[in-house]
Chain A
Amino acid sequence: MIEVERLTKRYGKTVAVDDLTFRVESGRITGFLGPNGAGKTTTLKAVLALIRPTSGETKVLGRHYRDLDDPVRKVGAVLETSRYHPGRSGRNHLRVVAAQAGIARQRVEEVLELVALKDAARRRVGGYSLGMRQRLGLATALLGDPEVLILDEPANGLDPAGIRWLRDLLRQLAARGHTILISSHVLAEVEQIVDEVVIIHRGRFVTQSSTAALAAQVSAGVRVRSPEAERLRAALAAEGMTVAALDDGVLGVSEGTAERVGELAAANGIVLHELTPQKATLEEAFLELTGGETTT
């Protein structure tokens, strides 16, 4: 479990994280979302004791990261800033971390296999593609078979096949009871992987909920199709609903429910061919909650 309690981090006059509180429960995949500059990486770094909070505190598995015994075996992390010595091979990079954590060399070969880097293991990391570096980062994080994984933008640099591979891998890990916190700006990706999301904006907490509940929080309106679209449009507009003509005979109704649109159509004797409540995607929910700022 990961706890962030009233975390604030200032750099001079800039407030990167502002009184942020949230909690990530065990055995779940949680998406950590926010526009660029929202404070996601700063928060993760504070959790991992890489930066010193201005105030507040963070805990992993009930303890400060610094106080964990054998942190590599408890928490695996891939940070956006994870980098490697370019002259060292992928295998040697893992061997260094394994030596530091007292992990057997056999495990290095296992994780290389797991992230499909065995063939490139002898090559210098300087020649790796971004995707291969991401895989090496994941291999490093998985080296100690940790209970908690903290991944900052792990899909960055992966091709579609790589993203699918990552998704499958994370699902497998979650099924085995791992706790995963994953920050990403690829919202469509997160939507397919995570159980719940924590959204922050300008360093502040916005919301935490399941993906389904989050999408439901945001009304995306109703799609309605009728041979008498113009009459229906007038009737709906008279009720104060915002109506847009989407296509021939198709109307998009915002700020209205399917029930209300159906009732109004029936009351006016208008035939409907389609009446579909629109589900907001996580992306739309996110944009609405963060004031429409893009995340890239």
Chain B
Amino acid sequence: MRLLQAEALKVRTAPRTLLGLVLALMALDVLGSGSTASGGGPDFVPNADEIVTFDVLTVATTGVIFALILGILIVTWEYRHGTITQTFLATPQRERVMAAKYAVSFGTGAILTALSVVVVLVTALFWISPVLHRDQWELIGRLVVASALWGILGAGLGALIQSQVGAIIAAFVWFLVVEPLIGVRFEHFADYLPGAVIDRLTGHEVSAEHTQEATQYSFGLWTAGLLAAVYALGAAVLGAASAAWRDIS
């Protein structure tokens, strides 16, 4: 409990980093949500309001990326600024420290995306219905769960790589370069990779009546959630083992 308090306090008392991250996320949310306004207008199709609401919520998936980055930061800023020495002096059982960091990354990930959802919905209130139906609430739930899990994935990756810039670049290279390349060569297998899994978990299947772009997925939402959890926990275990084993230089 002490460790959790200390880790949460670390996040709260690094205001510039956190503030910068939250402001950047909100700016992207407002811009992204604003861009869905063109979904209305004279050619508005029946039920389009519902589709636009889904589109608005999709903008909030940016929160998942920010949750990943914040997870990376929660671990790597300790290595970057050398405070990891004091942290491990106060709690030499490093795996306990990492567990607390994962828990805080889980929480901050969920909060970031919850915030993101609020911002995109409030921004879009002028052109969407303020009443959400069940599927939309479910999508919000999936977004929050995905963010929380990707917070852990980020923290695990941070512990594994330790370099702040290195971990962020590694994450982006993986999701933007490596996964798409694997997808070109092994299409079916690529569906099970982390980026595709999180896309599945945060995507929405709007019925074909509403749009022609309904995506065909290889597996269901529960499987996607389970796979995302496996990836997050895998990164967490590897990260904790790395943090526990390596010398503090």
What residues of chain A have their CB less than 8 Å away from a CB belonging to chain B? 45, 48-52, 65-66, 68, 71-72, 75, 77, 79, 81-89, 92, 95-97, 99-102, 140
Contact = CB atoms under 8 A, between A and B. Distances in A.
Given A84-B83, A87-B17, A95 B9 contact: yes
A100 B87 contact: yes
B6 interface: yes
A66 B9 contact: no
Given A50-B248, A71-B92, A87-B16, A81 B82 contact: yes
Interface size class of B (residues with CB under 8 A): 20 to 34
A225 B184 CA distance: 93
20 contacts: A49-B88, A50-B85, A50-B248, A66-B92, A71-B91, A81-B85, A81-B249, A83-B81, A83-B82, A85-B14, A86-B81, A88-B13, A88-B14, A95-B13, A96-B9, A97-B6, A97-B90, A100-B2, A100-B5, A102-B2
Interface in B1-18: 2-3, 5-6, 9-10, 13-17
B86 interface: yes
B247 interface: yes
Given A50-B247, A96-B13, A85 B91 contact: no
Given A85-B83, A88-B14, A89-B13, A66 B93 contact: yes
Pick the most buried of A49, A51, A100: most chain B CB atoms within 10 A of its CB. Answer: A100
Contacts of A102: 2
B192 interface: no
A102 B15 CA distance: 23
Given A84-B83, A85-B13, 18 more contacts: A50-B247, A51-B247, A65-B92, A71-B89, A71-B91, A82-B85, A82-B86, A83-B81, A84-B82, A85-B10, A92-B13, A96-B6, A97-B86, A99-B5, A100-B5, A100-B6, A100-B91, A102-B2
A295 B200 CA distance: 61
Contacts of A79: 85
Contacts of A65: 92
Main secondary structure of the interface of B (DSSP, over half): helix
A77 B89 contact: yes
Interface of B: 2-3, 5-6, 9-10, 13-17, 77, 81-83, 85-93, 245, 247-249
A70 to B, nearest CB: 9
A99 B6 contact: yes
A51 B17 contact: no
A197 B85 CA distance: 26
Contacts of A75: 89
A7 B2 CA distance: 33
A146 to B, nearest CB: 11
A68 B88 CA distance: 12
Given A85-B14, A88-B14, A96-B13, A72 B85 contact: no
A48 B82 CA distance: 15
A85 B77 contact: yes
Nearest to B90: A100
Contacts of A81: 82, 85, 249
A156 to B, nearest CB: 15
A43 to B, nearest CB: 13
A87 B247 contact: no
A101 B93 CA distance: 13
